Every structure is written in structure tokens, then in C-alpha cells.
Amino acid sequence: MSAIDRLFADLRSQGRKALMPFVTAGDPDLAFTADVLRELASRGCPLCELGIPYSDPIADGPVIQASYTRALDRHVKLAGIFETIGRLTREIHMPVVSMVSYAIIFRHGPQAYIRDARAAGFAGAIVPDLPLDESEELAEICRGEDFSLIQLVTPTTPRERAVRIARSSSGFLYYVSVAGITGERRELPPELLDNVAWLKTQTDLPICIGFGISRPEHVHSIAPVADGVIVGSAFVRRLVEADCRPRSEVLREIGDFAEVLLAALDG
């Protein structure tokens, strides 16, 4: 079992759901990224998604795109990210999953990327621009390393293809709540709960819902069908202030926001 398999098995045995914050690696710098992950772990977040900055991200809205740009402008490199996470995962017991473009994996070498990411302490990878029909090589490498390859199902994915995506995924399945790009929204689609409920009849994988989720009421409304909830832009937006305010205050606000979402998830 991978670290993510073990985590969700433990959560299910306790009747709990997972809050998964998204944080951009290196925004504003890798030292603060490590501080944020420590804060999130200390507040009870069971796992975290770490975005690997990329110049041409797919499906990311303006908040996360701007965050990637800031990190790249400060010359954040993959080697530095691996080094930072390698130190951090010896301190905290919270699986970290990378959100990474396949272009980065391909350039590094698929076998080498999974080996190096796992050695650094990453528990899995979400690769949003890797089509199902081209994913078998990477999926096989991940299976050999007990490393989770998390794939995405969207509202427009045909049901037969959604089942195939679930069969080729490991760790958990990422259900995209809305068609389009990431970003905070006022409301989630009314058909979301039914779509996820159907998908749960087709797979034993945990299903985590992301995109557009930014408020406690969102989290509370989808908790009945979700095994986990992914919140990105709402966290990343708060990180912007780390360059102009005391970082201790920003960390506290991020932690407080995580606690509010956790309470909504368990409530």
C-alpha cells in the first residue's frame, strides 16, 4: 500500500474526510512553503497538494498562474523543491502530492522523476495534462514504486471513460467539480453530488473533489459524497500577502482558514 492508500484507509476507519490544501512550491520562497506545510499539518490537514511551478499550466486560473509566475521569477527549481520536501517529510507525518505537468516529468525522465520524487518524500503525483491513453507507462512505473498516480475526471468526461480513468488511477481519484479552470466560485454545480455519487458506485478508490471550492459551505455541501476536498486558490490567494505582512500573521491566518474548512468537512 502507498502512503495515500494507508491514509485513506485510516480516515475511512475513523469516519473522517480529508481536507487537501493546495500550495505553490516556492511562492514566495521554499522556506515559507515549508513553514506553510508545517502549519497545515499542525492544524490537522491529513495531506497536501504541492504545485510544481510551470510556465504554461493547464486548467489553472489566474490566482494559481500568478503564483507559478512569481515562483519561476524567483528561479525556483525542481531540485530545490525535492531538497526542501526531503527535509520536511522527516519532520511531519502528512503525505504530500505533487501537481506537476507531464512536460516536467518527461524532461526529467519518467523513471527518474518518480524515483527522485519518492526519495524526496512525495507520496504521489497529479498530472493534469497526461491523457488516459498515454498514461500506462507512467502508471506502471508508479505501481512499481508504491507511488500514487492520481488522475482527473471532469463533468464532461464520458462515463465509460471515467470508469477507465478510475481503473488506471491509484491513491485517489480527482473529481473536477466544474468545467473550466481553477478559481474561487460562489456556487458549485447542482449536478455535482449526483455525478460523484454515481462514480462511487464504479470504483473503490477514494474520490476527492477540487476546482472552485473555497468556502466552508462548499465543503459542507459536498462532504456527504466526497472522501476528500481540495482547496487551492483560496489558500494561494492568502500566500500573496507573505511579502508585505509579517509571515507569522499570514501563517496563522492560513492555519485558521484550514481549521474552519476542517470543521465544515467534519460537521
Give the start-to-end residue ranges of the domains of the chain: 3-262
User: Is 253 among the catalytic positions?
Assistant: no
The one catalytic residue in 27, 29, 60, 227 is 60
Active site residue 27: no
Q: Are 125 and 150 in contact (CB under 8 A)?
A: yes
The 10s digit of each residue's pLDDT in 68-97 is: 999 999 999 999 999 999 999 889 989 999
- When the pLDDT of each residue in the chain is averaged and rounded to a whole number, the result is 91
Of 49, 83, 241, 243, which residue is the catalytic one? 49
pLDDT at 140: 96
Instruction: Quote the pLDDT of residue 186.
Output: 55
Model-level pTM?
0.93
Instruction: Give CATH superfamily name and number for 3-262.
Output: Aldolase class I (3.20.20.70)
Low-confidence ranges of the chain (pLDDT < 70): 57, 59-60, 179-189, 267
